[in-house]
């Protein structure tokens, strides 16, 4: 692993008597694609939440980005420091075009002015290979894959050092997953570190350099993807059996 751009140390999140994430520690190398797997309810999205401050930080532990502690900072400050995320549910403005949506993201997440926002919107539209002719249509008319492209573009609009993607392949067809695979690799080659939560194992195994598996809020396994998926404990927890 190269020098770490993200370090999570004993991160814990409790809700009353429920511990959703329990003393999770890992590091992500600069320029890496790092995968996070696990069954539903294993704490994956909660982990992303506490790392980005949306909508809460950790109960205990710490999160470091670019050698600076970021837990406890406001969510917008974390985003503007260069760590941006997406969510499981697409969150486009249905009456606005992709270009208009990206301009809003550039202003509020990136702190850019109007002229800079428009320039950045066109830049990321090209970066995610979005059909420029459809970039001016209402977002409600976009396909599922185009909404995924827009979601990733919104994370890239402020030129972050790292992006965190929460199940971007959800709802995609097999050919579209192939396109997403290529897109994530292209984004990573541009110098952006990628953290990826995904239930589509084919995508996760294809693009990830290292992988952790969560179960009941704790790290069950970590290492090279091919080694992790052969772990019997992972098969039992994530796939429901060892066959």
Is the pLDDT confidence value at 142 over 80?
Answer: yes
Tokens of 243: 């066959």
**Residue range 43-70: average pLDDT?**
96
At 229 the pLDDT is 86
The DSSP result for 155-172, as a single string, is HHTT--SEEEEESTTTT-
Of the pLDDT bands very low, low, confident and very high (cuts 50, 70, 90), residue 171 is very high
> What was the pLDDT predicted at 1?
62
Q: Tell me: pLDDT of 191 over 50.
A: yes
Q: Does domain 1-82+161-243 have CATH number 3.30.565.10?
A: no
d(CA 225, CA 173): 23
Q: Look at residue 21 in the predicted model and tell me its pLDDT.
A: 97
Angle (CA) 202 205 211, round 5° = 140
pLDDT of residue 200: 92
Mean pLDDT of the chain: 92
Tell me the per-residue pLDDT of 99-120, one tens digit each, with 9 for 90 and over.
Answer: 999 998 888 776 767 778 888 8
Nearest to 205 by CA among 47, 37, 48: 37
Residue 34 is classified by DSSP as: E
- 210 has a pLDDT exceeding 80: yes
- Name the percent of the chain lying above pLDDT 90: 76
Q: Summarize pLDDT for 22-37 with one digit per residue, the tens.
A: 999 999 999 999 999 9
Contact indicator for 50, 71 with CB cutoff of 8 Å:
yes
Domain spans of the chain, in order of start: 1-82+161-243, 91-159
**196: β partners:** 35, 165
């Amino acid at each position: 692993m190269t020098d770490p751009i993200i370090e999570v140390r004993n991160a814990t999140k409790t809700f009353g008597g429920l511990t959703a994430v329990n003393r999770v520690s890992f590091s992500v190398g600069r320029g890496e694609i790092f995968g996070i797997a696990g069954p539903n309810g294993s704490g994956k999205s909660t982990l992303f939440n506490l790392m980005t401050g949306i909508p809460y930080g950790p109960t205990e532990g710490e999160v470091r980005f670019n050698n600076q502690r970021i837990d406890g900072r406001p969510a917008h400050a974390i985003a503007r420091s260069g760590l941006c995320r997406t969510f499981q549910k697409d969150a486009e403005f249905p009456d606005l075009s992709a270009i208009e949506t990206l301009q809003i993201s550039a202003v509020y997440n990136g702190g850019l002015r109007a002229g800079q926002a428009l320039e950045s919107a066109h830049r990321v539209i090209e970066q995610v290979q979005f059909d420029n002719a459809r970039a001016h249509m209402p977002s409600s008319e976009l396909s599922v894959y185009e909404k995924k492209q827009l979601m990733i573009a919104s994370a890239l609009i402020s030129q972050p050092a790292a992006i965190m993607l929460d199940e971007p392949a959800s709802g995609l067809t097999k050919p579209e997953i192939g396109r997403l695979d290529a897109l994530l690799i292209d984004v990573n080659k541009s110098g952006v570190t990628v953290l990826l939560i995904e239930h589509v194992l084919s995508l996760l195994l294809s693009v990830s350099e290292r992988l952790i598996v969560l179960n009941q809020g704790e790290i069950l396994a970590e290492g090279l993807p091919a080694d992790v998926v052969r772990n019997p404990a992972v098969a039992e927890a994530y796939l429901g059996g060892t066959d």
